[in-house]
């Protein structure tokens, strides 16, 4: 079955540091890939997505590139802020034929210190 593996946290950074969160996936088809963010006490918010190989998703300074050859979708941000402290989830969806459900990784907690 499908699965998503992401680096375990917590990841602790200083403000303005570079952030990378690794994500790799296993899927039988050609999934769409997503990064979601969860702030304390809240639900999930879509951060960015990519629907095909070599696509780059970007939003709010975050970027991730869909790498089919390495089955990866690593999240990066060049200069983090305290407000980026949250839990980040990598996820995939195999589309309508597989029911469009999302398969999530275990999440990576990021703590940015001033």
Partner 1 sequence: DAGVTQSPTHLIKTRGQQVTLRCSPKSGHDTVSWYQQALGQGPQFIFQYYEEEERQRGNFPDRFSGHQFPNYSSELNVNALLLGDSALYLCASSPGTTAEGYTFGSGTRLTVV
Task: Return residues touching partner 1 (CB under 8 A).
Answer: 4, 32, 34, 36, 41-46, 49, 51, 89, 91, 93, 95-96, 99-107
Record the tokens describing residue 48, joined without a space: 């960015």
Q: How far is the CB of 97 from partner 1 (least distance, A)?
A: 11
Q: Which is nearer to partner 1, 12 or 14 (CB)?
A: 12
Contact 109, 8 (CB under 8 A): no
Q: Which is nearer to partner 1, 17 or 107 (CB)?
A: 107
Q: How far is the CB of 83 from partner 1 (least distance, A)?
A: 18
* Cα 111 to Cα 7: distance, rounded to the nearest angstrom: 14
Q: Which is nearer to partner 1, 43 or 114 (CB)?
A: 43
* Cα 85 to Cα 12: distance, rounded to the nearest angstrom: 9
Q: How far is the CB of 79 from partner 1 (least distance, A)?
A: 27
Q: How far is the CB of 96 from partner 1 (least distance, A)?
A: 6
Q: Which is nearer to partner 1, 12 or 79 (CB)?
A: 12
* Cα 23 to Cα 28: distance, rounded to the nearest angstrom: 17
Contact 73, 50 (CB under 8 A): yes
Closest CA to 64 of 86, 81, 47: 47
């Amino acid at each position: 079955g499908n699965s998503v593996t992401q680096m375990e946290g917590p990841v602790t950074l200083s403000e303005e540091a570079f952030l990378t969160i690794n994500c790799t996936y296993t899927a039988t088809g050609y999934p769409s890939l997503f990064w979601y963010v969860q702030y304390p006490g809240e639900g999930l918010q879509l951060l960015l997505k990519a629907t095909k190989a070599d696509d780059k998703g970007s939003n709010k300074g975050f970027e991730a590139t869909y790498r089919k050859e390495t089955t990866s979708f690593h999240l990066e941000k060049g200069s983090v802020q305290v407000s980026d402290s949250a839990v980040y989830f990598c996820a995939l969806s195999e589309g309508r034929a597989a029911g469009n459900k999302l398969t999530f990784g275990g999440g990576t907690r990021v703590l940015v210190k001033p």
